[in-house]
Amino acid sequence: MTRERILMAAKDYLEKESIESLSLRKIASLSGVSPPTVYAHFATMDDLVAAFFQWLKPRLGLDKPLPSLAELPTMPQRLFPLYDQYGALLRNLMNQPSWDRQRYADRDNRLGGWIAGIGVAFPDLTPTQLRRGALAIASFWSPTYWLWLMDTCRFAPEEAQAVASWGVRALIEALKADPSGLDRLPVSPTVAETSGTHRGKP
């Protein structure tokens, strides 16, 4: 319960302030516990940020396996309301160096799972086609795309969900119809490709 209390205090702070301005001593004061208690749970700020990332991930629905291919266009409807709920927090966290380090550290697990999940429906794609196609599809339900639709495009929440769902459907149909164009670009291997998480032809 003490750990949860500290993480909730971090959430309240980070909805209004930059993560780069947070310190362990400050979070101790905000959560009403002593600094040694905070240090017992989180030895460094990186440890706290890593724990907070893992705490937030399921609350954003990003820890769940993908639904079937037919249901993939519903991903924006499933996830965007969660992003809306944590909107102030996401806006403050995104593009902050310490937060981006956690996103990058989790990238292979998150994106590799999406590639593998979509690959079940497309067993005949080459690894390059699958990686590029799957990640293009998955980008339409990411927090980054949600933020772009909401803040740059100024869509209403229902509009953002509809536009993103349309994009997912369009890319799935394109992948079914002719994925050959995905092979025409230079291949730059990623960890997701080299970690064995892709499916398809060798």
Q: Are 61 and 23 in contact (CB under 8 A)?
A: no
Handedness of CA 73, 175, 64, 111 (dihedral sign): negative
Q: Are 75 and 141 in contact (CB under 8 A)?
A: yes
pLDDT tens for each residue of the chain, 202 residues long: 899 999 999 999 999 999 999 999 999 999 999 999 999 999 999 999 999 999 999 999 998 889 999 999 999 999 999 999 999 999 999 988 999 999 899 988 889 999 999 999 999 999 999 999 999 999 999 999 999 999 999 999 999 999 999 999 999 999 999 999 998 876 565 544 544 444 443 3
Domain with CATH 1.10.10.60 in the chain: 1-59
With a threshold of 0.95, does the pTM exceed it? no
Q: Which CATH superfamily is domain 1-59 in?
A: Homeodomain-like (1.10.10.60)
